[in-house]
Amino acid sequence: MENKTILICDDDEGILDMLEIVLEGNGYKTVPVQNSLNLYEMIEREHPDLLLLDLWMPVLSGDQVLKSLRKNPQTQELPVIVISASRDGKQIASAAGATDFMSKPFDLEFLLDKIRQYLN
Amino acid sequence: MYCSGDQLIIKIIAVDSIQNGEFNISHETAKEDFSLLIQALDASISGIILTDNRLPDNPIIYCNKAFEEMTGYQRNEIIGHNCRFLQKEDRGQPERATLRAAIREGKKCIVDIRNYRKDGTLFYNELYMSPIKGENGQVNYFIGVQNDVTRRKKAELDLRHQQEIMERQVLERTQSLKESEDYLSSIVQTVRESLIVLDPEFKVLSVNEHFLKTFKVTTEDTIGKLLYDLGNGQWNISALKELLENILPTNNPVEEFEVEHDFPHIGKKLMVLNAHRIELEGHYKDRILIAIEDITDRREIERRKDDFLSIASHELKTPLTTIKGLVQMMQRMVPAELSDKFKSILNKTGLYVDRLNNLIAELLDVSRIQTGNIELHKDVFDFDKAVQEAVETIQSATKSHEIQISGNTGEQVSADESHIVQVINNLLSNAIKYAPYHKEIIVYLSRVSNFVKFSVKDQGMGIKQEDHKKIFDRFYRVGDIQQRFPGMGIGLYICDQIIKNHGGTLWVESEPGQGSTFSFTLPLNKQPA
């Protein structure tokens, strides 16, 4: 589990910081991506085991990213947990093909449980 | 001789015999006749007088008994006076001029004149006056015949008085009708909503100022025109036709009928119409009243407010997520040697972050409910599982209480899961919050007919009967609760709205000191067995 890589894509720096601290603190390797346009490139490079994805992002939104990931055979099976503060986030996420959804703000234990669920 | 009038008669009557074919009356006969005449005159109920026109001021030279009775004067008070003494001070009567003219010209006349008896009481005298002429045509005497017509006159006066009253009342009614019409019309003109009155064939009878202003038309190109033809057919709106021709005839009145239409000159308008066909029998029957509210701007503002709230909520939640995550991380990393005080501060920070998050969520929900934008994303889900997950989540965050689940529904429900979970969370949180000293909380699940039922029972302080309904009102807080338990009083309001939107009910059974049981039902989409 020590070697599992989690890619975090969120336009908010605070969220990126926090998730890095939390996940690194729990023994994961994290790769923060603030600009969703760089996401494909980072996935190619880092081969993450799991993706934490925000929905509301400028230029390229989370659900757009997700839809194209699901079309690509290499990322079709990648566990993606969408994390959003939008009320209708859950519907959007599941329509776009998310593995799971968490609304912001979330409980740390809850998030770690979910991550463990998909990485073990 | 009885009176000086006898000389007159004596002159006429000379001999009582027939001589040379002429009839002459003897003195004796004349005397007899005279006394008979006097008796006859005295027997008359009309007052009769004679005046001598040849004497100065035309004095009375004869009056009969009836005249004395009528006037209350004695003969000696009458003879020698001019008739005008009967008028006393009432000398302004126009009838006097008629009398004077008749006397001057030696003609007969008849007048109704106000006279006064000796005791001062008024009577109406119908006076017939006729001249008695001599051989040369000169007027020697006047004979006056008088009748007391007070009763007739009074009846006439009463009648005229009644007529005047009636005329005045008619005038007043007309005035008040006009006033109330003006009053109503000024109300209609002041209303900041467009009003149209149509005849049964949909021709415009009238519109108010606001209509003219809103739709930029003049009275001339509106009144008398077919509604659909207004503004060169701008009003030929199919939704409006549908309303007037198909809906209104069977659903009178129609309220809150929304019509959206793009007017060539004034642009797209969103209107809410109330239409009312007058069913009252009479002049106005079948006229159609239409009130139009232009809600174009209001809708736009509502939409912007909604957008604003969702952006604000999203933007507030994002940094909150960071704070919450970091605080929780700190709690996990607390070294054993750290003071309890520090741990307690950390825990409180976490608690208040949660509270802030709830406030943001609730505010957004309230604003959505207020604008009627509570969106339901219905999905079929396992009700028991959803409850179990919600309970586990809440349980994991509290060490002070133990939540037990009893029973099950065994049903899949079609509902908005996130909303229903929100309700369950709210009810569970309340149970914990308001029963701080009793650790046991029981959740009951059951299927009742074609409903699933969820109940949560706490051992807390309970709720007074009079508050059982009020606690579901917006911003309602039970009196003394405010000081001990913070909150905005919108949680239960939101829960109630959510359950109502699903076609279920939410209620409480409770007594002070005996704990509370909150329950809700959700309909299953199948008929009862």
| Chain B residues lying within 8 Å of A86, measured CB to CB | 310, 314
B408-441 pLDDT, tens digit per residue, is 999 999 998 888 998 998 899 888 888 888 889 9
**CA A44 and chain centroid, separation:** 15
Question: What's residue B344's pLDDT?
Answer: 86
Instruction: Compute the distance between CA of residue A15 and CA of residue B4 in angstroms, rounded to an integer.
Output: 140
Q: Residue B8: is its pLDDT beyond 60?
A: no
Of A15, A87, A88, the CB nearest to B318: A15
Look at B364 and A87 and tell me if their CB atoms are within 8 Å. yes
Look at A21 and B357 and tell me if their CB atoms are within 8 Å. no
Instruction: Compute the distance between CA of residue A7 and CA of residue B68 in angstroms, rounded to an integer.
Output: 136
Burial class (CB in 10 A: 0-12, 13-18, 19+), B91: exposed
Look at A105 and B321 and tell me if their CB atoms are within 8 Å. yes
In sequence order, what are the residues at sequence separation of 6 or more whose Cβ sits closer than 8 angstroms to the Cβ of residue A51? Answer: A6, A7, A8, A9, A43, A69, A78, A79, A80, A81
B132-161 pLDDT, tens digit per residue, is 998 888 899 999 999 999 998 889 889 999
A22-54 pLDDT, tens digit per residue, is 999 889 999 999 999 999 999 999 999 999 999
In a mutational test of the B interface, the residue from A12, A16, A18 whose CB has the highest number of chain B CBs within 10 Å is A18
B78-137 pLDDT, tens digit per residue, is 999 988 889 888 888 888 899 889 988 989 999 999 999 999 999 999 999 999 998 888
Instruction: Compute the distance between CA of residue B146 and CA of residue B129 in angstroms, rounded to an integer.
Output: 9
Instruction: Compute the distance between CA of residue B504 and CA of residue B448 in angstroms, rounded to an integer.
Output: 12
Instruction: Compute the distance between CA of residue B82 and CA of residue A103 in angstroms, rounded to an integer.
Output: 121
- This complex has an ipTM of 0.84
Look at B321 and A104 and tell me if their CB atoms are within 8 Å. yes
A72-98 pLDDT, tens digit per residue, is 998 999 999 999 988 788 889 999 999
The encoded tokens of residue B221 equal: 């190109």
Residue B12 to residues B7, B51, B168, B251, Cα–Cα distance (Å):
9, 18, 59, 99
B492-524 pLDDT, tens digit per residue, is 888 888 898 899 999 999 988 888 999 999 998
B312 pLDDT band (50/70/90 cuts)? confident
| Chain B residues lying within 8 Å of A83, measured CB to CB | 321
Task: Tell whether B341 lies on the interface with A, counting CB pairs under 8 A.
Answer: no
Percent of chain A whose pLDDT exceeds 70:
98
For the beta sheet containing A29-33, the strands, ordered from the edge strand earlier in sequence to the opposite edge, are: A29-33, A5-9, A50-54, A80-84, A100-103
Q: How many helices (H) and strands (E) does chain A have?
A: 5, 5
Is the peptide bond preceding residue B253 cis, with omega within 30 degrees of 0?
yes
Instruction: Compute the distance between CA of residue B324 and CA of residue B329 in angstroms, rounded to an integer.
Output: 8
Burial class (CB in 10 A: 0-12, 13-18, 19+), B12: exposed
User: Which sign does the torsion angle of CA B467, B471, B476, B478 carry?
Assistant: positive
Higher pLDDT, B48 or B311: B48
- Cβ atoms A15, A54 nearer than 8 A: yes
Q: Residue B7: is its pLDDT beyond 80?
A: no
Instruction: Compute the distance between CA of residue B523 and CA of residue B187 in angstroms, rounded to an integer.
Output: 48
Q: Is the pTM of this model over 0.80?
A: no
